[in-house]
Structures are given as C-alpha cells and as structure tokens.
Amino acid sequence: MKGKWILFSAAGLLISLALGGSFFLFPTAAKLTGTNQPAVNAGSSLPAFLLNDLTGEAHSPVSLAGKPAVINFWATWCKPCEIEMPLLQAVSGKYPKIAVIGINSGEAEEVIQPFVAKYDITFPVWLDTESKVTDRLKIIGLPTTYFIDALGVIRAVHLGQLTPDLLDTYLAQLGIEP
C-alpha cells in the first residue's frame, strides 16, 4: 500500500510540474494577442513602402494621398481571393474616385498575369513578390483588405473574403454611399 501511495504521489508531482512548467514555456494569450494582429490597424497609416506594378512602374501608398483607397492583399492560389476579385473589379469601375489596389503576395509576375487576364482586372496590381510588405504588416491570412480615407488614415482592416454587404459597410466608413 505504501508503494502505491509513493507511486501516485510521484505521478501527481510530475503532472503538477509538467502543467506548471507549461506556463513558463508557452506564451500566454495576452502575449499572443499582439502577434496575431496586423502591424497597422484602424486609426493609423500604412508605413512607407515601394512596390512595382505589372508594367514595372514603382508605387507607394503616398501616391494615393487625397483619394480614398481599398488595398487588397491577395494571391492566385487563394480561393476566397479569387471569389472576391470580381467584386473588387466592380467597385473599381463603379467608384472612380476610390483607388482600388490589389497587392499580390509572394508570387511571380508570370503567375499573376494569367489570373489578371482571366478576371479582366483593370485596377492596379502591385507586386510583393517576396512578401516583404505582407510580412512587415504582419498579415496573417489572405485576403486582407485595408480601407483608407482620403487623409491616409486606415478606417478598417478586414481579414477574409469580402461580401457585397461588408464592402458597402466599409465603403460607408470612407464616406462612399452605394
């Protein structure tokens, strides 16, 4: 009986140490919160960066000053990105006073060009071929869309596929009524 008691006590001690030690080895929810958030959120501005478009011309968010913007991070392999692309194209055509920009994350131009042709995308597509901007902004999933007012202030960030209703809600935050 005494042997079983020692065995159970030892097992209980080991389990307690293992569980207690995990609090030191694994980050807490409070620590993880910051890592799962985009680097820039509503109320701030995008940092300066420079990306080429499909024609080789360099662009920066600074060039969008004075105009509301919808900046969508996407990839050709991303099914939700593919589904929302016609919606973004429609917004680009319907609201010429809004700059709609697609930033492709991590793909080469020869992969992007057929996708752009397939969906008849006429809004500018900027290339983040090495995902440096995507990583800098801590974008954790595609698509991710930034809604920026004419003063350059981010009014909303949406992770995931946009729907027409969601898009209208975000555009209203930019002062654009459907």
- Predicted confidence at residue 121, as pLDDT, reads 98
Could you tell me if residue 52 is inside a domain?
Answer: yes
- Predicted confidence at residue 129, as pLDDT, reads 97
Write the CB contacts of 86 (distance below 8 Å, at least 6 apart in sequence): 119
Asked if 156 and 147 touch (Cβ cutoff 8 Å), the reply is yes
- Structure tokens given for 162: 């946009």
- Predicted confidence at residue 177, as pLDDT, reads 85
User: What does pLDDT average to over the chain?
Assistant: 85
Q: What is the pLDDT of residues 50-63, one digit of tens each?
A: 999 999 999 999 99
Is 84 in the same domain as 19? no
Could you tell me if residue 178 is inside a domain?
Answer: no
How far apart CA 178 and CA 175 sit, in angstroms, is: 10
Is 11 in the same domain as 72? no
Lowest average pLDDT, out of 2-16, 53-67, 157-171, goes to 2-16
Considering its fold, how many domains does the chain have in total? Answer: 2
Is 14 in the same domain as 54? no
Domain that holds residue 78: 38-173
Is 105 in the same domain as 122? yes
Is 103 in the same domain as 169? yes
Is 21 in the same domain as 96? no
Q: How many CA atoms lie less than 13 Å away from 30 in the CB half-sphere?
A: 1
Could you tell me if residue 81 is inside a domain?
Answer: yes
71-to-10, 57, 79, 133, 136 alpha-carbon distances in Å: 58, 17, 18, 12, 15
Q: pTM for the full model? A: 0.79
